[in-house]
A and B are shown apart, each in its own frame.
Chain A
């Protein structure tokens, strides 16, 4: 991009080296490559004694090459090699019908539906609470300290109780999990939206008063638009927390389906590859959800006339 008048070869090469895409992605690619190499080495080292033990039990002669190959394709490795994880993930996604109990798509959908329902409930509750807090000084002073306090409490510890309590009154399946997700995700939204609703500066509020705007008009014309950036920032935090909540909610209940159930089953039966592929599915889900929220953020910003 450092354009020069003479387009000689070295300049072109230098230009390629400083091309923004190369400049941005080169470090990332290098570090990811290093991490994958480290992962392979780790897989060899950690599975070595396991594989060697297997060979020695069968009293079969083995070469170093066979030993290395064994560490790459062990059935229940301590650390599966990256290609095993990717293979299991692809197999789980495409290898079965989407409704089969072995399909990762099926489990992801179970978790995703709980996540999205919980996220919607949490976002609604968070915004309503923020509105109430912004409009009532009493609520702000009495409720806000408790909301902040509850941020410091490990709320996920409540997950099993919620499941037990809701199960006892006949609620099972999707709803208890979503309630946990909602419970976890409404905090960041409340905090963020209170900040957003109060972000217009006194001068803008004064202007609204000179127009004798009602509090509803102030809300729709000033508070909402200025809270939008805060809304999306907290939605991004909330949707990842919501996913974590849904996954953890599947842990203590012995749920049959969902990413959390896959993790728990994998850990009971020592199916390490299954655990890792479930983790990859969770990562894909998380980044997909964040990407969707970011996309919505960009679109809304464009509609509101932001220049990117």
Chain B
């Protein structure tokens, strides 16, 4: 998108906001009179139009920054307007025009940001981070505005702010659920499953016969819907966390086995000959050559398993739990139609999942810095 189109985009957003003066918001009386009754909103509309017009006059980064400021003010205005009970629930065309203006301006900013080609590497990193963040913020803004403006019943879809409020208000419950599901179920099962998978992979690598038998089996099992064993595990290990840990261990075992086995076989012929010429024992070769060579593969499995583990634990909780846990809370609150609590739990699961994945990825960066895929 070139400079001319960006300028046109900003002018269009300004026009969108300007049109609002002629459309119902929906407040009683003629649109202009209704806005005049709210001097602040009226004033803001003028300011926003000016800011967008101003942004259209610049080029490059200044235009983007000014456009973002305009979009921010406009978004804030719509959110403030939504507090008005007359508008919330049945917003009319004038309101939606403003929202379209915000969307257009932020989209133009994202496009313009993506078009920048900075020389400075730190600056480039900031932009790489800013683009998805802006995109996400716009999506959340639209979700919030549509839910509150169109009056979507909270049973269908709560607004992000309602879920966030619920999240902050029920921190103790969420904390207990987190400990039950994540610390007890996921982490213990993950450690057992990945540890056992790695151990069996080492054995299968040491004894070729075992490896040739286990590899097809492992491939077969890792394609099966293994979470289905959850009811059996609940029957064997009871309602509490051991059954969840067992499901997680089983679900994480096979990806680790298959990946670690492939990794152990990744050590080169020359390196193996070198170890032999040093007269290294098997244990030394394993620690100094095979395991380090397998690390990228092992981390691949650890990352796959980080997601699988959380899913396994949550699904296992659908089959019975003591009265806490993320999966338990999701299924009971969904049954009671308390969707804001459900979304708060999902946010918790998402944060936990991302943090877990991030930690594994960080550990990978620290330990396999030598691998070509990391040297970018």
Contact = CB atoms under 8 A, between A and B. Distances in A.
Contact of A152 (B131, B156, B330, B357): B357
Interface stretch (B24-32, B38-46, B347-355, B364-372): B347-355
A264 B232 CA distance: 10
Contact of A164 (B225, B314, B334): B334
A304 interface: no
Contact of A279 (B115, B228, B306, B326): B228
Contacts of B217: 28, 31-32
A157 B337 CA distance: 16
Contact of A286 (B213, B224, B311): B224
A25 to B, nearest CB: 9
Contact of A153 (B128, B326, B354): B354
B330 A266 contact: no
Contacts of A138: 110-111, 114-115, 131
A248 B317 CA distance: 12
A142 B357 contact: no
Interface stretch (B60-68, B78-86, B338-346): B338-346
A287 B217 CA distance: 12
A211 interface: no
B14 to A, nearest CB: 22
A146 B132 contact: yes
Nearest to B231: A267
Contact of A28 (B216, B224, B227, B353): B216
A157 B224 CA distance: 19
A165 to B, nearest CB: 6
Interface in A227-260: 236, 240, 243-244, 247-248, 251-252, 259
A290 B334 CA distance: 33
Contact of A251 (B156, B318, B350): B318
Q: Taking chain A's interface residues, is the majority helix, strand, or loop, or is none over half, making it mixed? A: helix
Interface stretch (A67-75, A190-198, A268-276): A268-276
Contacts of A264: 231, 319
B327 A157 contact: yes
A229 to B, nearest CB: 18
B210 A158 contact: no
A78 interface: yes
B249 interface: no
- Contact-size category for A: 35 or more
A169 interface: yes
Contacts of A282: 224-225, 228
Contact of B132 (A142, A152, A283, A286): A142
A156, A163, A248: residue with the most chain B Cβ atoms closer than 10 Å: A156
Nearest to B306: A152
Given A157-B346, A158-B346, A248-B315, A287 B223 contact: yes
Contacts, number: 158
A275 B334 contact: no
B334 A247 contact: no
B59 to A, nearest CB: 18
Given A28-B212, A141-B132, A267-B234, A154 B354 contact: no
A151 interface: yes
B349 A28 contact: no
Contacts of B223: 236, 240, 286-287, 290
Contacts of A153: 307, 346, 349-350, 353-354
Interface in A143-170: 143-146, 149, 151-158, 160-161, 163-165, 168-169
Given A28-B216, A160-B330, A141 B209 contact: no
Nearest to B360: A152
Interface in B28-76: none
A305 interface: no
B156 A142 contact: no
Interface string A195-207: 0000000000000
B136 A146 contact: yes
A24 B346 CA distance: 46
A158 B206 CA distance: 42
B214 interface: yes
Contacts of A154: 307, 310-311, 314, 349-350, 353
Contacts of A276: 232
15 contacts: A27-B209, A28-B213, A142-B135, A152-B353, A153-B346, A154-B350, A155-B311, A158-B346, A240-B224, A248-B227, A263-B230, A266-B231, A272-B232, A287-B220, A287-B224
What 5 A-B pairs have minimum CB-CB distances, sorted nearest first? Answer: A267-B231, A27-B213, A31-B213, A142-B135, A145-B132
Interface of A: 24, 27-32, 78, 137-138, 141-146, 149, 151-158, 160-161, 163-165, 168-169, 236, 240, 243-244, 247-248, 251-252, 259, 263-264, 266-267, 270, 272, 275-276, 278-279, 282-283, 286-287, 290
